[in-house]
Amino acid sequence: MNFEPLKNCKYAVIGNPIAHSKSPQMQNAGFEYYGMGSIYGKILVENEELADFVEYARKNLSGFNITVPYKQDIIPFVDEMSEVAELSGSVNTIRIENGRFIATSTDGVGLAAALQVHFHKEVKGLKVIFAGAGGAAQAAAWYFACNGAESIFVANRSLAKAEHLADSLKKAFPELKTGVCELADTEKMTDFVRRSDVLIQATSVGLKDDDGTAFDLKCLEGAENLCVYDLIYKETQLLKYCHSGGIECANGSDMLLYQGAASFEFWTNKKAPVEAMRKGLEGK
């Protein structure tokens, strides 16, 4: 494996694909704010190269981020895990201390910060419905459960994945209210939406410009108090509908920012310069 892209770097993001990642411009803005230079790189890691990268990282890096598809695959190499990483089985941030990997997931805390900033919502006591039950939904749902959410409904295209997530959450947190349905079950979706404060759109529907929505928008009719957070970074059909119908909503770009800020703090023990990092993310 060629580690040339990481020359002079102490931090990095790994994934496959990785070219599109904006983490370097965001994190380097943070490191530069503290006069530490541009020390965060990105590197494409093929499946069979993960062990080689790990060996390089233990000797040469102070920390790294992990994105798709390695958030679970990295776990066998980890020496210490935070509670939320352990429970969700997902790691996006590793700090390296004397070659030891200390792991956590900042996806949930990033989403929680975005909900606070946009909607003034706290996780404690929150009633939430997830559309989607993939990796992103799982990491966020576990963070919410660990931090006192009142109810978590999971709607997914395939019911089995939603059931697996809801059952595992309920087992770990018996007092948590849960429920599941198929995204196509508009009647149940409507019921869950009415009983929720926030809907988190965590499917991949909306990534492509000509995508529709993952569920029938009818279920949002009359949901005056609902806030909608779409994990996708752009104006999806769902967000267009919310804007036109006066439903409070936001796209996923601030989750990216705040998960990055939490990673920065996990590594450096310094307060993340969020506004500088936002400018970095926006390429300013």
Residues belonging to the active site: 71
DSSP letter for each residue of 151-217:
EEEEEESSHHHHHHHHHHHHHH-TTSEEEEEETT-HHHHHHHHHT-SEEEE-SSTTSSTT---SS-G
Q: At what angle do helices 159-172 and 135-146 cross, to 10 degrees?
A: 20
Q: Is 135 in the site for ligand ATR (CB under 6 A)?
A: yes
CB of 167 to ligand ATR, least distance (A): 15
Residue with Cβ nearer ligand ATR (39 or 145): 145
* 94 close to 101: Cβ distance less than 8 angstroms: yes
Q: Is 225 in the site for ligand ATR (CB under 6 A)?
A: no
What the block records as the tokens of 85 is: 């990483």
Quick one: which segment of 33-41, 56-64, 200-208, 238-246 binds ligand ATR (CB under 6 A)? Answer: 200-208
| CA distances from residue 105 to 24, 111, 134, 278 in whole angstroms, order as listed | 18, 11, 15, 20
Among 158, 194, 234, 271, which residue sits at the site for ligand ATR (rule: CB under 6 A)? Answer: 158
Distance in angstroms (rounded) separating the CA atoms of residues 259 and 266: 10
Q: Per-residue x/- marks for ligand ATR, 162-191, CB under 6 A?
A: ---------------------x--------
Residue with Cβ nearer ligand ATR (118 or 157): 157
CB of 215 to ligand ATR, least distance (A): 8
Size of the residue set binding ligand ATR (CB under 6 A)? 17
Q: Is 58 in the site for ligand ATR (CB under 6 A)?
A: no
Which residues make Cβ contacts (< 8 Å) with residue 116, sequence separation at least 6?
A: 122
* 215 close to 189: Cβ distance less than 8 angstroms: yes
Q: Which of 215, 116, 195 is nearest to 151 (CA)?
A: 195
- CA dihedral (207, 208, 214, 216) positive or negative: positive
* 149 close to 125: Cβ distance less than 8 angstroms: yes
Q: Which residue is nearest to ligand ATR (CB)?
A: 134
Residue with Cβ nearer ligand ATR (132 or 280): 132
Q: Per-residue x/- marks for ligand ATR, 105-124, CB under 6 A?
A: --------------------
Quick one: which segment of 19-27, 58-66, 201-209, 250-258 binds ligand ATR (CB under 6 A)? Answer: 201-209
* 144 close to 129: Cβ distance less than 8 angstroms: no
At 13 the three-state DSSP class reads strand
CB of 210 to ligand ATR, least distance (A): 12
Quick one: which segment of 146-154, 199-207, 242-250, 274-282 binds ligand ATR (CB under 6 A)? Answer: 199-207
Quick one: which segment of 6-14, 18-26, 59-67, 132-140 binds ligand ATR (CB under 6 A)? Answer: 132-140
Name the residues that contact ligand ATR, by CB under 6 A.
68, 132-137, 156-158, 161, 183, 202-205, 214
